[in-house]
Structure 1
Amino acid sequence: MSKRLVALGDSFTEGVGDDDPAAPNGVRGWADRVAEQLAAREPDFRYANLAIRGKLLPQILGEQLEPALAMAPDLLTLYAGGNDLMRPKVDIDALVDDYEAAVAKIRATGAELVLFTGVDGVEDALFRRMRGRVAIYNEFVRAIATRHGAHLVDMWAMRQLRDRRYWAPDRLHLNAYGHTEVAIAVLAALGVEHPLEGAELGPREVLSPAARRSQNVQWARKHALPWVRRRLRGESSGDALTAKRPTLEPVASAPLPR
């Protein structure tokens, strides 16, 4: 059983969308849930989460990798590249070259590593436009995981994540339901038994075209336009933030699933 977990990445790993005022940075997320379950099985367990929202892959590797390795973890999680793929122009081949070099460096320490593919956004108009580049990125990640003996959480295959009810109102980040699903998938990849359960949300509501257009307009005004303005100003949502758990610390006992 792992005793030292370090999570690297962006908003996905930080836990954005899963609001929790009692948690560092005001968010909980799948990594916290995984850490809670591992801590319940290992008295000496310690957990650090260096992920910061808005970070690009070069920033994640440049700012988080060495501090993470300095903690001598026996388990790391790495998700990087999602923000890069949302840029108008991205060199996926160059991106994954750096990504694989980082994976090789991590695995050379003997630590276990969990990698992730991107989600299939086929049912969302915004992410459907990115579907091709995400699929290419995912194929690279699958091959890298195989070559280096890393665990893989294939979120592209998690069809439940196509359902918008697993996402926060901004449509960019998973909510508590979505983060719980990812936590379950990570624990399954690690072969860890746990009491977490996915939500039973029932049939989806069928919206009229007019209602769907109205929702899309509201979303664009509240979430999409501010995101575009930040990009134009060269700003990131994480510019004023620091890592939520910058050092290895004990984790409270696992709470009941929610």
Structure 2
Amino acid sequence: MEHNVLTEETDPFCLDQADAVALLAGAPWGRYAVVGDSLSAGTGDPTLGYRDQGWSDRVAGVLRSVRPDLDYLNVSENGATTAKTLEKQAARMLEFSPDLLHLPCGANDIVRRRPNFGEIERTLRQMYDLAKGTGALLTTFTLGRAYVVPVFPDWPERIATVNEIVRGLAAEYGALVVDMWDHPINDRDNLLSADGIHFSTSGQAVMAAEMVKKLAESFGTDK
């Protein structure tokens, strides 16, 4: 389709820095934390024409332009399950005392022969309980349909199920959801990295733009 044709400047789903900063002008957050897995980390291969930076660092950069005193903590780790996020990252998250906090959405919880969705929901709920106790505004993504693991024939159903769990918990706990499940970029032939799993930096740029727009909506400055 659009392989290496669009650039960050011409991509209709991207925001340039000035527009992103304008959207978040007056943002109240000064302590931004990100926990979870490679999706939280912004892992992905470079895309020609796009800045080589993950979505979370991009959002932090926008927030820092608005709030130069912003403190930013990203302790996410590639391959982390929700349980591992709780075990290895939660203490640092709590110590940091964020007022804006991004949570993972179970991507690695479903990479097993027979995922137990009841257990996945219980573990995610533990994370939301802990995160809610910080008093921070919570954010998360749903998984995009371009994310495919061919060894599991039921993979689309797995993603749909975990996305519904995430949407339900987010609604219950007042978290903002950036829904990537059916975003138009899922159809781009250069979206995925070489591993066929992670969004390349073109996707990272779009995810950052969607997060900025969602944050802007949350405090009434969406334009």
Task: Sort the TM-score into its range (normalised by shorter chain).
Answer: 0.7 to 0.9
| 1:168 alignment partner in structure 2 | 193
Q: Deviations over 1:179-233 (max 9, x none)?
A: 0111011111111779xxxxxxxxxxxxxxxxxxxxxxxxxxxxxxxxxxxxxxx
Query: Alpha-carbon deviation of 1:127?
Result: 7.3
The yes-or-no answer on 1:71 pairing with 2:96 is yes
Q: Distance in 1 between matches of 2:60 and 2:203?
A: 17
1:117 to 139, 142, 146: 142
| 2:75 alignment partner in structure 1 | 50
Query: Alpha-carbon deviation of 1:111?
Result: 0.5
Q: Distance in 1 between matches of 2:135 and 2:148?
A: 39
| 2:31 alignment partner in structure 1 | 4
Query: Alpha-carbon deviation of 1:68?
Result: 0.6
Q: Deviations over 1:133-161 (max 9, x none)?
A: 11111111111111111111111131312
1:142 is aligned with what amino acid? R
Structure 1, gaps ≥5 residues long: 21-26, 195-258
Query: Alpha-carbon deviation of 1:87?
Result: 1.3
Asked if the contact 1:56–1:80 (Cα under 8 Å) also holds between the matched residues in 2, the reply is: no
Asked if the contact 1:17–1:174 (Cα under 8 Å) also holds between the matched residues in 2, the reply is: yes
Q: Deviations over 1:7-30 (max 9, x none)?
A: 11111122221459xxxxxx7310
| 1:177 alignment partner in structure 2 | 202
TM-score, length basis structure 2: 0.77
Structure 2, gaps ≥5 residues long: 1-27
User: Runs ≥4 in structure 1, deviation > 6 angstroms?
Assistant: none
Q: Distance in 2 between matches of 1:42 and 1:188?
A: 17
| 1:93 alignment partner in structure 2 | 118
Query: Alpha-carbon deviation of 1:125?
Result: 5.1
Query: Alpha-carbon deviation of 1:123?
Result: 8.2
1:3 is aligned with what amino acid? G
Asked if the contact 2:148–2:156 (Cα under 8 Å) also holds between the matched residues in 1, the reply is: no
Structure with larger Rg: 1
Identity %: 30
TM-score, length basis structure 1: 0.67
Q: Distance in 2 between matches of 1:127 and 1:153?
A: 25
Query: Alpha-carbon deviation of 1:126?
Result: 5.8
Q: Which one has a larger percent helix, Structure 1 or Structure 2?
A: 1
Q: Distance in 2 between matches of 1:123 and 1:95?
A: 19
Q: Distance in 1 between matches of 2:79 and 2:36?
A: 9
Q: Distance in 1 between matches of 2:140 and 2:171?
A: 11
Q: Distance in 2 between matches of 1:28 and 1:128?
A: 32
Q: How does 1:1-258 map to 2 (within 5 A)?
A: 1-19=28-46, 28-121=53-146, 129-191=154-216
